[in-house]
Structure 1
Amino acid sequence: MHIALQEKLKSLPDKPGVYLYKDEAGQVIYVGKAINLKNRVRSYFQSARNLTAKTQALVARICDLETIVTDSELEALILECNLIKEHKPRYNIMLRDDKTYPYLMVTLQETYPRLLITRRLEKDGAKYFGPYTSSGAVRETVELLRTLFPLRTCSRRELDRRQRPCLNHHIGRCLAPCAGRVPRQEYMTMIGSIIAFLEGKEDELRKRLQQEMEEAAESLEFERAATLRNRIRALEQVMEKQKIVSVDMADQDVIAMARGFNQVCVQIFFIRGGKLIGREHYILEGTDEMDRSEVITAFVKQYYSRCDFVPREILLQEPIESAEEEELITRFLREKRQGRVEIRVPKRGDKLKLIEMVAKNALLTLEQLQNEQQRKKSMTEEAVLDLQRFLGLDEPPWRIECFDISNTMGKESVASMVVFEGGAPKKSDYRRFRIKTVEGPNDFASMAEVLTRRFNRAREEALEVDAGNLDPMSAKFATLPDLVIVDGGKGQLSSAREAMAGVGYDYITTYGLAKENEWLFHEHNPNPIILPRGSRALYLIQRIRDEAHRFAITYHRQLRGQAQTASALDGIAGIGPKRRTALLRHFGSVKAIAAATVAQLAAVEGMTEELAERVLAVLQGSAESAGDGKTGHAAPSMGRTGGKR
């Protein structure tokens, strides 16, 4: 154990908070919470006999720790969920989903409310319905309601008085409150009908419409009666499609799981007003040594820490792992909902049947996903075998590395290295390089530099690992490829092979990929290898090439943007890194800074009026110079940014 880590263990606080374990590279590998940090953290470093294999592997990699003290265990729970989402630690169960679900919003805070789709819940006086898992279903609902009820769709919150209504009024899709064609009371009655529909009170709404239709017919208002009749028919068609799954008409989330090999599928059904409005599934990995209660607990904490809506009742297949944890999570949910929330584990009756239905769906979803994963795995592995056959290799090229160069007129030259293993991308092994020794647009020399640096690092790391000075898990370049592909023709290939020979790695098979025809060139074969159109091998090569190009272009654009920002602000006397960062953070861009006033710039932390005047003089002077330069000459042509695709 590191001496620094031992010292930190001695001085741990006996207060609630969050602890973060870090590896040798300083990466956060685990985040946890505790009601007593001293007792919880020290428990990891006691006898290994009481630890699971996964926890033992975690402890073996801990080189540093950080603690954050909170005022309560509830604050620690919230902070733990946020840190897990931020750092994505290797040894935490991860809910890998950042979806935001759509809601329907009735803008009751407006004089004449509207019906809108939103993905954000706010305390603004509006009434929200959802969440819905299908955007298409939400749009269909909105379209249905706008057909049934002629409410306004204009974008203004409060209406301006108009002399003439818009086209929607003339085609019967709006009551034209903007032109005073409808009393507010009548309009709000219609809004009440919409809310009743969204709350699941279709029977009540149907009876109300039936009564209005009969009254209109008795008053000889046959056109209005026919309109109401059409609304009733449309409503009945919707009611036939809806499935009531909860007899108590409650808002519920029903959560169950199914286990596979080192994989869990958690399924959640959304029940609103007793009706199933949608469902979603999540795949959790690294769960083999965790019991079912641990998995459900981790899911509940992470899921509800990031979703906007908490229903009144949550039905779980398994109990929360401890009574203390359940009490804490319930407090958290009630605080988020600002109302009562119950967590239940049904043992009998209709609610147990709901759990069983969700569990069956979770198992079916898991089986479908695993079958799809197996199918994709077979396809990618077969693509690797096809590539071996077409290239005449002795062994399947399990690990393939592809290199690409990107620059603009030789400026900000960068290179990408992407890695595919077993025919699938291994993004954790992707690397990017900033060209250091080459001036101007010289792709051949740039490729030689990158290959030299890549394989020099491989040799250095291999020696460090052999000497015991480097953990093999931390050796980023020591794993060698079975096949190297350089994006370019014979010129790039020749440069790459010369560089690889110079560092002793020319025994690795290498091909150049010509861009126009996607032909593969080998140094000992004057004729290209042409992969058959439609073959799995060609598809694999195209995927690898496109990924290398994307990765290089992304890095190049990032550096180019940084360079443009730096050139605009860094040359101004008195504007150092701190002030530059403060200005960009406050205004968002150099363009916005140039458009600001002296007073606005001076109000930024660290700025003065004198500095503000200097910044504006430089930026606005640069803009005027750029404007004066418009003499009709053609813009300079752009150099290669990865080549024509």
Structure 2
Amino acid sequence: MFDIQEELKKVPDNPGVYQMKNELGEIIYVGKAKNLKKRVKQYFQSKNHIPKIQAMIKNIAEFEYVITDNEVEALILEANFIKKYSPKYNTILRDDKQYPYIKISVQEKYPRIYKVREVKKDGAKYFGPYPSAYAVNEFIDIIGNLYKLRKCSLKLDGTKKVQRPCLNYHINRCTAPCMGNVDYKVYREDVNKAISFLSGGEEELIKSLKEKMKLSSENLDFESAAKYRDQIRSLELISEKQKIVSTNTAIDQDVIGSAIGVEEACIQIFFIRNGKMIGNEHYLLTNIENETREEIISSFLSQFYTGTVYVPKEIYIETDIEDRELFEKLLSEKRGNKVSVKVPAKGDKSMLIKMIKKNALEILEKGSQRIKRNMDESLEALNELKDLLNLDEVPMRIEAYDISNIQGVESVGSMVVFERGVPSKSNYRRFRIKTVNGPNDYKSMEEVLERRINRGLDQGDLKGFNKMPDLILMDGGKGQTNIAEEVIYNFGLNIPVCGMIKDDKHTTRGLIYQNKEIEFKKTDKVYRLIYRIQEEAHRFAIEYHRNLRDKTLFKSELDNIENIGEKRKISLLKEFGSVENIKNAGLEELSGADGMNIKAAESVYNYFRNKIKNNTSQ
């Protein structure tokens, strides 16, 4: 048994992070402390706690702590634990956004312009973040088309040339450096112009283009003048969409305002880059009962900025917070130079914060009703599901599994998680099948479930697998359900399993539970919940194997063989199940495969026979 009073004597005076747990071992609260001993003791010695903390203390069965070297490390670790475990009594930032950036790969000989969601130290130029992916795409299209910068991912070093350019060249959106059609210096000049514009130099750029337009017109080169005119219009269009809100164009800033309701708070940020507001975004925080505005803003800063890849030079907030200097130190370390967290008392930033707060209040009022409606409906659906399946408790955590493959090969599995009827995307997991050759959904599902449960039973695992589901849903019928039930039984667990079945139109029809079919009406709340879960599981699996294909992970030795293209490669793998089986196949077997002819079969046969011969002779 865990003796709290005895364990309190062992807590050190070091900085660190503590975790409060209930009798089931679930983490219900996470906090940081400059002095662990003093902070943890306060929970059990003081009686002057807010109601939420009083309720939390009643549920503490044990606690753990992690010692850190300093308060900054404790702040980071606290934020990571809150995101990972979503403890019941912590204020939670509900956000999974990863903002897009515009990247110009200046480290390449012929740089390209494209959208990314991660900033790397690779020598490239990054601009952003932009709250809107649509805005990024628009910028890339306009700027890329103005200067004809390439968007392809070819590795161009100037020594190799492709046989023919892509479509962008033919529609006059690229100068085809891949074919050597453009002078290196001219291309670099256009790259520098794009960088200048994105860095806030659009006025100088527009002025320069106007001079060129005027000169072309005076020389009666009306075609060039028209080209410059169109470029000027495009640049002015972008400039008009960005409102100037700061006279200091050299400093990137985030300005933050809040609105606090009864059960949730809305935080809104205006993103200012190069003196212009490039966009805004709002965030919702839950579990805020009895929290002060200062505590809510502090929770937001720690969870948001420890997770974002970009930190601006200045952050403006509406009220001072206890750990402001600590945040400045943390964010300065992350950015690589000094970051200031400021509270404006007057002036432009103070007025801007007042406007942001009004926007946040409006969002909160509109959104709270919709969110509450959705949450209530989800809980009603979960209660309906409990009654339909005759479960002992409402299934608050549901895990759904799906298997997908690339045209019969390269199988992948997905696990999506719904908590309280809402997607918990931070707990989603993907599995690349390791032990199964060929398209075998049953064996693939068996591998996925065994790996998931093994990770969950490993007490040292901190990757989101430690919470076991209240219900498992399989994307399939009796076969998949029976496989899952067998795996669960072999581990000695008692987790109900259902199969999600579809009708002839591949739309969710109902569930299979204990070998019986349960059909729903499409008007039922539980139907809508199951439909969302099934679609999400399938989407997540499809997205994964598309990424595998797009990242060219789907490669094999067959790519080296003459007369074997993508279609024949997939056909052979589908027919024989693996490259090893293809290697051992006879000429007649190979020529009989779908899509193959004798010439292609001879290419494959001779390739592997020559390779075996060469290896033997060495």
The two structures share one fold, judged by TM-score above 0.5: yes
> 1:152, 1:3 → 2: CA distance?
63
1:236-255 alignment, distance < 5 Å:
236-249=236-249, 250-255=251-256
> 2:533, 2:107 → 1: CA distance?
51
Q: Which residue of 1 aligns with 2:445?
A: none
1:609-624 alignment, distance < 5 Å:
none
Amino acid at match of 1:368: K
1:621 Cα deviation after fit: 13
What do residues 163-203 of structure 1 show as CA deviations (whole Å, max 9, x unaligned)? 87625445432233344443333222211221122123221
1:16-165 alignment, distance < 5 Å:
16-48=15-47, 50-159=48-157, 160-162=159-161
Larger Rg: 1
> 1:377, 1:37 → 2: CA distance?
36
Percent of residue pairs bearing the same amino acid type: 39
Q: TM-score w.r.t. structure 2 length?
A: 0.66
SS of residue in 1 equivalent to 2:360:
helix
Q: Is the 8 A contact 1:148 1:231 kept in 2?
A: yes
1:74 Cα deviation after fit: 1.2
1:107 Cα deviation after fit: 0.9
1:561-580 alignment, distance < 5 Å:
none
1:152 Cα deviation after fit: 2.2
1:105–1:407 CA distance, 2 compared to 1 (3 A): closer
What do residues 423-445 of structure 1 show as CA deviations (whole Å, max 9, x unaligned)? x779999733799xxx99999xx
1:331 Cα deviation after fit: 0.6
1:271–1:28 CA distance, 2 compared to 1 (3 A): same
> 2:468, 2:14 → 1: CA distance?
39
1:274 Cα deviation after fit: 1.9
Pair 1:283 & 2:284 matched:
yes
1:242-641 alignment, distance < 5 Å:
242-249=242-249, 250-320=251-321, 322=322, 325-373=323-371, 376=374, 400-402=387-389, 431-432=470-471, 487=511, 513-514=518-519, 538-543=523-528, 546=531
What do residues 124-183 of structure 1 show as CA deviations (whole Å, max 9, x unaligned)? 111111111111111111111122111223312324443876254454322333444433
> 2:243, 2:317 → 1: CA distance?
21
Amino acid at match of 1:247: T
> 1:407, 1:129 → 2: CA distance?
37
- Structure 2: gaps of 5 or more residues: 392-399, 404-416, 425-466, 497-508, 542-553, 559-576, 593-618
Amino acid at match of 2:234: A
Q: Which residue of 2 aligns with 1:640?
A: none
Q: Which residue of 1 aligns with 2:172?
A: 172
SS of residue in 2 equivalent to 1:346:
coil
1:200–1:426 CA distance, 2 compared to 1 (3 A): closer
1:430–1:212 CA distance, 2 compared to 1 (3 A): same
1:336–1:430 CA distance, 2 compared to 1 (3 A): closer
- Bigger CA drift: 157-166 or 425-434? 425-434
> 2:579, 2:193 → 1: CA distance?
61
> 1:241, 1:290 → 2: CA distance?
37
Q: Is the 8 A contact 1:29 1:89 kept in 2?
A: yes
What do residues 297-330 of structure 1 show as CA deviations (whole Å, max 9, x unaligned)? 110011000001111110101211x2xx211110
SS of residue in 2 equivalent to 1:95:
strand
- Bigger CA drift: 129-138 or 242-251? 242-251
Q: Which residue of 1 aligns with 2:601?
A: none
Pair 1:186 & 2:186 matched:
yes
> 2:142, 2:579 → 1: CA distance?
56
SS of residue in 2 equivalent to 1:162:
coil
1:66–1:419 CA distance, 2 compared to 1 (3 A): closer
SS of residue in 2 equivalent to 1:306:
coil
- Bigger CA drift: 136-145 or 301-310? 136-145
> 2:133, 2:334 → 1: CA distance?
25
1:359–1:162 CA distance, 2 compared to 1 (3 A): same
SS of residue in 1 equivalent to 2:244:
coil
Amino acid at match of 1:36: N
1:433–1:127 CA distance, 2 compared to 1 (3 A): closer
> 2:538, 2:143 → 1: CA distance?
46
Q: Is the 8 A contact 1:486 1:492 kept in 2?
A: no
> 2:493, 2:83 → 1: CA distance?
32
> 2:423, 2:402 → 1: CA distance?
25
> 1:42, 1:133 → 2: CA distance?
42
Q: Is the 8 A contact 1:419 1:429 kept in 2?
A: no
Amino acid at match of 1:402: L
Q: Is the 8 A contact 2:378 2:422 kept in 1?
A: no
Amino acid at match of 1:255: I
> 1:317, 1:539 → 2: CA distance?
45
> 1:433, 1:190 → 2: CA distance?
55
What do residues 495-530 of structure 1 show as CA deviations (whole Å, max 9, x unaligned)? xxxxxxxxxxxxxxxxx744xxx5xxxxxxxxxxxx
Q: Is the 8 A contact 1:200 1:273 kept in 2?
A: yes
Q: Which residue of 2 aligns with 1:234?
A: 234
Q: Is the 8 A contact 2:510 2:527 kept in 1?
A: no
Q: Which residue of 1 aligns with 2:13?
A: 14
Amino acid at match of 1:283: L
1:198–1:553 CA distance, 2 compared to 1 (3 A): closer
1:221 Cα deviation after fit: 4.2
Q: Is the 8 A contact 2:385 2:526 kept in 1?
A: no
1:345 Cα deviation after fit: 1.0
Q: Which residue of 2 aligns with 1:605?
A: none
1:283 Cα deviation after fit: 1.2
> 2:169, 2:472 → 1: CA distance?
61
> 2:103, 2:402 → 1: CA distance?
48
- Bigger CA drift: 372-381 or 219-228? 372-381
What do residues 439-494 of structure 1 show as CA deviations (whole Å, max 9, x unaligned)? 99999xx9xx99xx99999xxxxxxxxxxxxxxxxxxxxxxxxxxx99469x977x
1:358 Cα deviation after fit: 1.0
1:293 Cα deviation after fit: 0.5
Q: Which residue of 1 aligns with 2:451?
A: none
Amino acid at match of 1:22: K
Q: Is the 8 A contact 1:402 1:544 kept in 2?
A: no
1:362 Cα deviation after fit: 0.5
What do residues 52-78 of structure 1 show as CA deviations (whole Å, max 9, x unaligned)? 221122222222222211111111111
> 2:530, 2:340 → 1: CA distance?
53
- Bigger CA drift: 113-122 or 236-245? 236-245
SS of residue in 1 equivalent to 2:93:
coil
SS of residue in 1 equivalent to 2:45:
coil
SS of residue in 1 equivalent to 2:524:
helix
Amino acid at match of 2:305: Y
Amino acid at match of 2:314: E
